[in-house]
Amino acid sequence: MSREKEDIPPIKVEAETEDDEDVVKLDCVKENGGDVELDNGGNVALDCVTVNGGDVKLENDVLLLMAHSETKELTKEEVWFIDSGCSNHMTGNKKWFVTLDESFSHSVKLGNNARMQVMGQGNVKLKVQGRTQIVSNVYYVPDLTNNLLSVGQLQERGLAVLMKKGVCKIFHPKKGLIVHTKMTTNRMFVMLAELHNDAYLQVIQEDITGLWHKRFGHLHLRGLQGLHHKKMVHGLPEIQAVYKVCEVCNKGKQHREGIPKKANWRASEKLQLIHSDLYGPITPQTVSNKRYILTFTDDFNQKTWIYLLTEKSETFEKFKFFKTSVEMETGLKIRCLRSDRGGEYNSQIFSDFCNTQGIKRQLTTSYTPQQNGVAERKNQTLMNMVRWLLVERKIPRSFWAEAAKWSVHIINRSPTAALQDATPEECWTGQKPSVAHFRIFGCIAYVHVPNQRRVKLEEKTKKCVFLGVSEESKAYRLFDPESKQIITSRDVIFAEEEIWNWGRIDGHTEELKWEDAEPFADEEGNAGNDHAGNAQMENEQIQAQAEEASREASRADATWRANATSSSQTIRREQPKRISRAPAHLQDYVTGENLTEEEEGDDQFLVLYTTADDPVSYNEAVKDIK
């Protein structure tokens, strides 16, 4: 059966409002369908809907179900179909868009299960009988031949859509009736719109901006806009800040993202988060061949523990020892461990142990030590203090381990920005720590010699060097330079202004080197050394003084080692020689050592007195036995 097509009635626009913007009635009739939506600003916001022949299926895919209809006098760009079968606003004409994000990618499903690719999402600006309408979140589907508005998307914006007796009405919750259109002969609701002039500017502006961006050697947009607004040059058109990724700029000047200077989260109790780092190797190594320092820092109270290692492979055993120690002391469990991606932390046995114990792992991104900033900053603070302690009293570099232990003891009893009016030691133990036992590292200490270790006329004191406090006893830890031994004693008298004379001979030894020690750089990798003039001269003087003190300490270290070597050689030379004595069974044997040359010559004639009757073999000798 066929019927004659009716002519499309003209569009009627009526404005009935106090401001002539409250109510807009649009009677749009055409042989193609579409959907309409308004925004909260009084403009009509259009959303896309699709209809294609077939049954509607409730799926998660975006559906496009729309029947084809012909247009007579109006072009396809002027027709927008209002359709309840379309799940999103869509258009196939790029000129409609005022803003378009082409990085957005999606797909829409047709009624015949075919798919169309969505190449972008943006906002569309329309002009209906002189009134500007804005449509947001519109899909750009290049293969789509019609413009569609989604009834469902209109309702999500709070609009009410009423289709009854061949009329479609759209109501705004505050503005009232905003759209009124009649059904066409092929049972579709349409709205006619003109392409807004600003819609062409999007593509044109992108071309102009990109052109001048390339002409200026990929200068950033702020620079181009500044040249135009401040009239610094002639002939440059107005540049709009149109967002578009420039691949060439990324290849030439992409930089790393900034690292937040302040953490967004802090632990709320002990052992909730532990920061750890291993740095080294340190040169020179200690007398016990230690080369690495392993640190653990509690995020809640910033208390720090250190362990000296010979090899990196010892990290796992030291972590188990640390875990047992702190958990027994507090009665709590370690919940999370944050570290870098070093092999000492990423071993299979380490990961299996943490999984078994229920310890969550937080590993930094590759080449991003800033994510483990607490441990890295603690390393820098510790390294600086060790260097100060050794340089101040010109102590040999081989004592860096003792300086590190004493530095941690001081840091745990010093204020920190992470805590308010408290020290890490107080937050850990709940008691204010005492610092009455503090002495200058490397100062002279006179140690009392017990009666059991001296005779009556020997001196009662021994001159030593202060190295810290004992971890096992309530006593000081001291070094005897003469005997090269560590002494633990509580009977000590300090002379903090005196310095031990480590020796003054020409020599050289390796300086203290920390391979993991690097200055914190800014986002572009600069170390921040932009000072000049007097500040630069002052820094050079300070550096020269530090180098001179370092050389003196190096000579002292060489002298101490040379004295230790020479003293051991002297002891070996003073040992008496061993006296060789003949065995007892050879006491009656005459060697002829005391004979003169004449007597030795006479011995040669004794051979003439031998007889041939002497037995030669064993059998002959047995026969002679009588």
Torsion sign over Cα 115, 116, 122, 125:
negative
Please tell me the distance from the alpha carbon of residue 102 to that of residue 245, in angstroms, as a whole number: 10
Q: What is the DSSP string of 473-514?
A: SSSEEEEETTTTEEEEES-EEEEEEEE------S---PPPEE
Integer angstrom CA distances of residue 49 from 65, 117, 146, 584: 8, 16, 10, 122
The pLDDT of residue 589: 64
The pLDDT of residue 112: 74
pLDDT band at residue 363 using 50, 70 and 90 as cut-offs? very high
User: pLDDT higher for 323 or 575?
Assistant: 323
- 596 part of a folded domain: no
Q: Radius of gyration of the chain from Cα atoms?
A: 47
The pLDDT of residue 236: 86
- 551 part of a folded domain: no
- 594 part of a folded domain: no
For the cut 60, the answer to whether the pLDDT of residue 221 exceeds it is: yes
User: pLDDT higher for 148 or 43?
Assistant: 148
Q: Indicate the number of domains in the chain.
A: 4
Together in a domain, 222 and 182:
no
Domain around 485: 424-514
The pLDDT of residue 608: 58
Q: Mean pLDDT over all residues of the chain?
A: 75
For the cut 70, the answer to whether the pLDDT of residue 30 exceeds it is: no
Q: Which of 410, 432, 466 is the last residue of a domain?
A: 410
Average pLDDT over residues 79-86: 82
Together in a domain, 70 and 172:
yes
Please write the tens of the pLDDT for every residue from 95-112. 788 888 777 888 888 777
Please tell me the distance from the alpha carbon of residue 262 to that of residue 370, in angstroms, as a whole number: 11
Average pLDDT over residues 604-622: 66
pLDDT band at residue 591 using 50, 70 and 90 as cut-offs? low
Together in a domain, 304 and 393:
yes
For the cut 50, the answer to whether the pLDDT of residue 533 exceeds it is: no
User: pLDDT higher for 189 or 588?
Assistant: 189
Integer angstrom CA distances of residue 496 from 143, 220, 352, 447, 479: 87, 61, 50, 14, 15
- Which residue, chain included where needed, has tokens 């190594």? 285
The pLDDT of residue 458: 86
Together in a domain, 478 and 385:
no
- 184 part of a folded domain: yes
The pLDDT of residue 53: 38
Nearest to 152 by CA among 91, 64, 41, 67: 64
Together in a domain, 86 and 179:
yes
CB contact set of 412 (below 8 Å; sequence gap of 6+):
303, 304, 423, 424, 425, 428, 433
Together in a domain, 62 and 179:
yes
Confirm if 151 and 35 have CB atoms less than 8 A apart. yes
The winner for highest mean pLDDT among 118-132, 301-315, 544-558 is: 301-315
The pLDDT of residue 85: 80
Bridge partners of residue 443, in order along the sequence: 499
- 531 part of a folded domain: no
Average pLDDT over residues 43-53: 37
The pLDDT of residue 563: 55
Confirm if 303 and 428 have CB atoms less than 8 A apart. yes
Please write the tens of the pLDDT for every residue from 373-418. 899 999 999 999 999 999 999 899 999 999 999 999 999 999 998 8
Nearest to 143 by CA among 188, 181, 90: 90
Other C-beta atoms within 10 Å of 218: how many?
13
Q: Which of 514, 547, 575 is the last residue of a domain?
A: 514
Residue type at position 317: E
Q: Which residues are catalytic?
A: 83
The pLDDT of residue 157: 80
What are the structure tokens assigned to 167, written together?
């009329």
The percent of residues in the chain predicted with pLDDT above 70, rounded, is: 67
Together in a domain, 309 and 392:
yes
Torsion sign over Cα 367, 368, 374, 379:
positive
Please write the tens of the pLDDT for every residue from 126-160. 776 566 777 788 888 888 888 888 888 888 888 88
Please write the tens of the pLDDT for every residue from 176-206. 777 777 888 888 888 777 776 554 555 555 5
The percent of residues in the chain predicted with pLDDT above 90, rounded, is: 30
Together in a domain, 123 and 205:
no
What are the structure tokens assigned to 468, written together?
């810290």
- 386 part of a folded domain: yes
The pLDDT of residue 410: 95
Q: What is the 3-state secondary structure (H, E, C) of 161-186?
A: EEEECCEEEEEECCCEEEEEEEECCC
- 498 part of a folded domain: yes
For the cut 80, the answer to whether the pLDDT of residue 91 exceeds it is: yes
Collapsed DSSP state (helix, strand, coil) of residue 232? coil
The pLDDT of residue 16: 35
pLDDT band at residue 511 using 50, 70 and 90 as cut-offs? low
Beta strands in 251-395 (DSSP E): 274-279, 282-283, 292-298, 304-309, 336-339, 360-363
CATH (domain of 405): 3.30.420.10
For the cut 70, the answer to whether the pLDDT of residue 515 exceeds it is: no
CATH (domain of 484): 2.30.30
- 255 part of a folded domain: no
The winner for highest mean pLDDT among 149-163, 241-255, 454-468, 504-518 is: 454-468
What are the structure tokens assigned to 285, written together?
């190594």
The pLDDT of residue 35: 39
Average pLDDT over residues 557-564: 56
Nearest to 383 by CA among 271, 266, 548, 515: 515
The pLDDT of residue 305: 96
The pLDDT of residue 514: 54
Together in a domain, 364 and 345:
yes
Other C-beta atoms within 10 Å of 496: how many?
13
Average pLDDT over residues 532-558: 54
Together in a domain, 191 and 204:
no
Together in a domain, 188 and 309:
no
Q: How far apart are the first and last CA of the chain?
A: 159
Together in a domain, 175 and 225:
no
